[in-house]
Amino acid sequence: YVARSFSGDMKQLLALIKGAIAHRGTAMLDVISPCVTFNNHEDSTKSYKWAKDHEIQIQEIGFVPFFDEIMVDYEPGTTQEIVLHDGSRIRLKKLRPDYDPTSKRIALEMLLESQEKQEFLTGLVYVEPQKKDFVTLLGLSDEPIVEIPDAKLRPGREALDRIMESLK
C-alpha cells in the first residue's frame, strides 16, 4: 500500500489513512505537511500555547511564527498549485478516479511522469491486494508464544545436531 496526500486535503487524507490501517501488510503513506503550526488552536494539546505552558526549557529556541493552515479541495485528475508560507510553490496532482493502483508498471510510470513535471502525485499510488502478509507467509501461530510449551518451541537434540552438522 503506497500513497501520498497533502495535509490540507482532509477528505483524501482520511480515506488514505483508513485504507492504510485496513491493509493487511506494509503501508507507506507520505503526507506533505508544510504547516509548522498545524492543529494550533486553544483546545489542542499540540498547539504552540499548550506546548509553551507545559515545556521544560532546556535552551531558548527563539521565535516560532504563526501561519494559517493551508487547505485545498480539488477534483481528481487535476493539478493544484499551492503557495506555501515562505512564498515557494508546490504542485499537487490528484490521481484520476479511473486510475488502477494495482499495476506496478503504471504506478512507476505515473511517478516518473509527475517527477518530470515537478508535481507531487497524490492518492493511492500502488496496492497489491492479493499479496499475503508476513504473518501468513511465515505461517505464524495465532497462539501467544507465552502459551506455547517449551517442547514445541525448542528443537530436539537431533535437530540441533543436524543444524550443527550443516554449519561445518
d(C-alpha 109, C-alpha 91), whole Å: 18
Query: Side chain identity at 87, as an amino acid letter?
Result: G
Q: 10 Å Cβ neighbour count for 120? A: 18
pLDDT for 73-94, tens place per residue?
A: 999 999 999 998 888 888 999 9
pLDDT digits (tens, 9 = 90+) for 34-58: 655 556 667 766 555 665 565 554 5
CA-wise closest residue to 6 among 87, 80, 66, 112: 80
Instruction: Please say if the pLDDT value at position 132 is more than 90.
Output: no
Query: What DSSP element (H or E) covers 163?
Result: helix 157-166
